[in-house]
Amino acid sequence: MLRRISSRIAAKIGILVGIQIVFVISNIAILVYFESQGALLGNSVNIAGKNRFLTYNVLVQTLKYLSRFSDVSAVNIAMSKFESNMLVLREGGNASPVIELKPLPSQYLNLWKATDSDWQKYKKYIIDNVIKPSQIAKQSTTSDLKLMTELQSMALGLISSSDTLVTALGNEVKTNAHNLTVLEFLLGILNIAILMSILFLIVRILRPIFSLTRATAEVKKGNLDVSVNRKGNDELATLSESFNSMVSSIKDHIENQNVLTGKLENANEELIVADKAKTEFVSMISHELKTPLVPMKLYCQMFTKKSLGSNLNEKQKKAIQILDRNLERLEMLVTDILDCYKLDIGKINLFREDTNIDTIIRNTITDLKSIIEDQQLSLKFDVRTTGTIFCDPQRVEQVLSNLLKNSFDFVPKNNGKITMRVEDYFDNESKITSQKEASSRFVMFTIDDNGPGITQSEIDNLFKKFYQIDPSLRRKHGGTGLGLSICRGLVEAHGGKMWYDKNYNTGASFKFTISRYR
């Protein structure tokens, strides 16, 4: 819309400027035409004025001929020049192409004819009374004095008629010059009037644009109380109305946004209070849950000792074992909740140190040895690297233990096969800061099993809190669905990463990396 309006405004201004240009060119053409016509008429005046000189020339040559100072050819030449001048005066450029002269206007032909009549009389008198008598070698019947007097009288008459034509042409030139001056004045006034009208129209067109520009600058400063007053049904009125509507919409939107921002701030304050209450609750409930577990576990340990256990029958011993197992499960549940909470708020404490890889593996297997033997599982080790990693050993053992327990739950009974693989891992995204690190900066742990594996739809939710692939296992094996989420959080807290290898052919395959160096 804005582009269409801009095009229309530009077209209007272009039309106005075009009109002014055409008018100026027309003025110039008119003035040039009238000036050229005046110049041509001025040439006619000059040609007519030349008759005076040529008349005197004919008279002088005739008198010289009478006085025997020249021959008859000089008289003929003088008369021929006068006749040629008269012909050019009447015919203009038609008589002589080299002369830029228009034919004599029709209103002056009578004066030209009067001059030509006087000339013909003058010429005939010269031929009859001067040239012919001399050619037949006899004296003219008229005395020389009388002849000269008559010649001078006729020459003055010819000059008088020529001057009358010159005067008439001169008056025409003056009239044309005056008219040209008046025309120039009128055209100048008209040109100024048209120019002022065009400027007025351009200002009228541009004024709303300037108003829109100022209003836009005010909106840019944050003043949304501005508006553009433009009445009419043209493009600028439409643009002004659209601008006012836009500013009104922005103002309403900002007001609504401020209301929503206020609500969000209130809700955020409530969430902060609720989060603080949740923190206090988790801390309190964890403490309250752990507090009774300590004496209960101590009593279970006391009753399992030989000194006290000998006084218990088999049923009592079995009850103590069940109690101890459930206390351990409850303790793990409380620990998972605390770890999950600490990872969420970024306050998990890691006690890192350079730890031997073999030590971590050995401690993990020792803790799970009884489960492996009870379920008759096959656990293989594929350790392809040695040395140390910089980590919190208990947390890494916790991750390995959790992954192995997950595999224990899913592998087939009496035929479960699990492989733990440890190898160097090269991370192209990590910076190598020394030649030592160029060999292997990370160590990758892999847990593979021959269980049913994990579908693509389940992979996306694997590391989410409280997610379990098979909810029925909650009753069978317990757990809250926090294990994998906690494992990934602990690995990432070490600066490593954890993922599920979806390209593994059968069963499940989990991988995670731990850095060797600080």
Q: Reduce the secondary structure of 273-293 to three states and give it as a string.
A: HHHHHHHHHHHHHHHHHHHHH
The structure tokens listed for 149 are 């007097």
Q: Please report, rounded to a whole number, the percentage of residues in the chain having pLDDT higher than 70.
A: 83
Q: Which tops the pLDDT comparison, 317 or 249?
A: 249
Cα Rg, the chain, nearest whole Å: 62
C-alpha closest to that of 389 among 350, 356, 426: 356
Least confident of 94-103, 416-425, 492-501: 94-103
- Judged by DSSP in three states, 128 sits in helix
Q: What is the pTM of this model?
A: 0.49
C-alpha closest to that of 46 among 146, 214, 170: 170
The whole-number pLDDT of residue 435 equals: 46
The whole-number pLDDT of residue 64 equals: 87
pLDDT band at 307 (very low <50, low <70, confident <90, very high): low
Q: Which tops the pLDDT comparison, 164 or 6?
A: 164
What 3 state SS string does 139-166 have?
CCCCCHHHHHHHHHHHHHHHHHHHHHHH
Amino acid code (one letter) for 9 = I
CB atoms within 10 A of CB 171: 11
State pLDDT tens for residues 172-194: 878 888 887 888 888 888 888 88
Q: Which tops the pLDDT comparison, 510 or 253?
A: 510
To the nearest whole number, what is the mean pLDDT of the chain? Answer: 80
pLDDT greater than 80 at residue 38: no
Q: Give residue 98's Cα distance to chain centre.
A: 65
Least confident of 58-62, 367-371, 382-386, 478-482: 478-482
pLDDT greater than 50 at residue 432: no
Least confident of 134-138, 271-275, 312-316: 134-138
* CA pair distance 135, 143, nearest whole angstrom: 17
pLDDT greater than 60 at residue 140: no
The structure tokens listed for 455 are 């579908």
The whole-number pLDDT of residue 420 equals: 94
The whole-number pLDDT of residue 496 equals: 94
pLDDT greater than 60 at residue 431: no
The mean per-residue pLDDT over the stretch 354-381 comes to 91
